[in-house]
Amino acid sequence: MRKNQRNNAVDITKSGARAVALKCLLRWAKGGVFAETLVAREAAALSSADRALVLAIVLGTLRNMRWLEHLSKSLRPTPMEDTAHWLVMLGLCQLFILGQAEHAAVCETVSVAPARLRGLVNGILRNAVRRRAEFESARGSLPLGVRYSSPDWLVKRWVAEFGAEETEQMLAWNVQAPPVYVRLNPLRPMEIPAEWVPLPHAQGWYRLPSGIPTAALQNGCVYVADPSTRYCVELLQPQAGEKILDACAAPGGKSAAMLAATGGQIRLLATDSAEHRLPQLKQNLERAGGVSVELACHDWSKPCPPEMLGAFDAVLLDVPCSNSGVLQRRVDARWRLSAQEIERLAQLQATILECACAAVRPGGRLVYSTCSIDGQEDRGVVDAFLARHPEFSLERDYLALPHREQSDGAYAALLMKSV
């Protein structure tokens, strides 16, 4: 959190999207609220175009925060109060990240500022315009963490695990705005719009040029998700007639994918640790065509319920994780994450795997998956589990690195239980 705070109310009625973006950034800096939650709340009354602009500014600023802060300090070495700082940051985002016209980026941003700060903000942003070529040329020589707006400890960790070249490619991927992908639901056929781009490496998946297809989503014809979510389902290979547990199911994307893959002909139990998420999970699965689906609330960091012991042909276990594979999409994650948090999560994941494995019948299978690319959460958890459980064997695992996949990062491991 920044110091030198002062009370500077922003009149959002006069300045629209940029004033709302400033309000979101000021509130985000205090901690405790996700950026997209703030945008959804604060921009609700705006037009769809203005809501999109607020989202682009807020996420673009946070996704590129360290580089924009480097530019800000180059332009104004002395500290600024919070309102001035975030005004400059959102102006720089419009200029350098969103590529907006200089007049709009500068003048509209200055119009949001309290009167006493307008001269300061105007001067800094106009100087940024004059030095644009200098800043863009110098970016390639900056340290990786500054150049690609990532914590230095994480950059160091990735370099040790993946090497410098691979790390830089991942960091460069993570500062780009993510595409919107959808998966078709064969249980709810629809006519595919001509502008949707099919993914050659992922049958039934499409990249959308813009926006969410609301009607198709509400009708259950598509599910908005990243193609990386398919790996765990492909490893599990659910079969019609099987009894399957989706242990950490909400909001239901992977359960829906299993229903689609089997024509809805599986006996599915979808559980989640938070009871308040079950109604939305139920609605999502019904929309997807689930007819033989049961829901239950269970925290899988606790022992397997007696009625579930050895009861399932297959278990899909998509555990809570650091989100290190989805930093492009979840802009807050890189600023919340720490090595200590990864350690805590790895211990939690090990506990969940230990408890959930008891639900697998002899001869059955379990897929352990994360949206992390960190070895401590992925193969580290699996190898430690196998050392404790000789009745399980690792048949196959897959690590999807985001820059290689051109989608989110993910990990999945198929574990078979002996008869």
**Where on the phi/psi map is residue 199: left (φ > 0), alpha (ψ -120 to 50), or beta?**
beta
- Alpha-carbon distance of 71 to 67, in angstroms, equals 6
- 10 pLDDT more than 70: no
> How many C-beta neighbours within 10 Å does residue 75 have?
17
Mean pLDDT of 13-27: 86
Q: Which of 232, 248, 355, 371 is catalytic?
A: 371
pTM of the shown model: 0.91
Q: For residues 130 and 135, what is the distance between their CA atoms, to the nearest angstrom? A: 10
pLDDT of residue 289: 86
Nearest one of 209, 204, 298, 287 to 248, comparing CA atoms: 298
117-132: average pLDDT: 97
pLDDT tops 50 at residue 322: yes
Whether residue 11 has pLDDT greater than 90 = no
Q: Name the nearest CA neighbour of 319 among 342, 340, 293.
A: 342
Q: Please state whether beta strands 222-224 and 180-184 pair in parallel, antiparallel, or not at all (unpaired).
A: antiparallel
Laid out side by side, the sheet with 360-370 consists of: 293-297, 267-272, 243-246, 312-318, 360-370, 410-417, 392-400
What distances in angstroms separate CA 370 from CA 32, 137, 208, 324, 373, one per listed residue?
A: 24, 37, 25, 9, 8
Is residue 211 over pLDDT 90? no
Listed range (149-153, 284-288, 344-348, 396-400) with the worst mean pLDDT: 284-288
In 3-state terms the chain splits into helix, strand, coil percentages (rounded to 5) of 50, 15, 35
- Average pLDDT over all residues of the chain: 94
| CA distances from residue 408 to 161, 314, 348 in whole angstroms, order as listed | 18, 25, 22
| Structural contact between residues 266 and 258, judged by C-beta atoms closer than 8 angstroms | yes
Beta strands 360-370 and 312-318 are: parallel
**Alpha-carbon distance 121 to 91, whole Å?**
9
Res. 2: pLDDT tops 60? no
Residue 379: CB partners within 8 Å, gap ≥ 6? 397, 399, 411, 413
Q: Which of 11-25, 59-73, 265-279, 366-380 has the lowest mean pLDDT?
A: 11-25
Instruction: Report the side by side order of strands in the sheet with 197-198.
Output: 197-198, 205-208, 180-184, 222-224
| Residue 252, token pair as written in the block | 């239901």
Among this protein's residues, is 107 annotated catalytic? no
313, containing H or E segment:
strand 312-318
- Out of 11-25, 150-164, 286-300, 302-316, pick the least confident: 11-25
13 pLDDT more than 80: no
> From CA 89, how far away is CA 98, in angstroms rounded?
12
Binning pLDDT at 50, 70 and 90, where does residue 15 land? low
